Amino acid sequence: MAQYSAVLDGVFGALADPTRRTVLRRLGHGPASVGDLAREAPMTLPSFMKHLRMLESNGLIRTAKSGRVRVCELNREGLGLVEDWLAEQRSVWADRTDRLERFVTTTLEEEKQ
């Protein structure tokens, strides 16, 4: 459980930055070279590379070198962790709102009697 939590913390940390979310959004359309991705970012290449390393180290993207060009692609399995966590949270909150609805409905029915 602690390992799952640490991985999830890293993924959410990576998603917390708008530059990294922009990269993920772009890679959702298909692979792109580091150069192409960096041209869209308002920062120096070394700063941008830190963002790519963060995304890669947390399993959200993969990179591969093809000749002199490094190509990035979205790792959809990495995003599956977030999807699983959100599904779990939806279930927890749906259960809580169902219980609240039953409580309110029961209380109102008891008041009417």
Q: 74-93: per-residue pLDDT in tens?
A: 998 888 888 888 888 787 77
CATH number at residue 6: 1.10.10.10
Q: How confident is the model at residue 18 (pLDDT cuts 50, 70, 90)?
A: very high
Q: Is the pLDDT of residue 65 over 90?
A: yes
Domains held by the chain: number? 1
Cα 34 to Cα 68, 75, 86, 94: the distances in Å are 11, 15, 30, 41
pTM of the model: 0.73
**Edge-to-edge order in the sheet of strand 61-66:** 32-33, 69-74, 61-66
Cα four-point dihedral sign 29, 12, 86, 64: positive
Please give the structure tokens belonging to residue 105: 């409905």
Which of 17 and 102 is assigned the larger pLDDT?
17
pLDDT of the residue at 3: 65
88/64: higher pLDDT: 64
Domain boundaries, position 98: 2-112
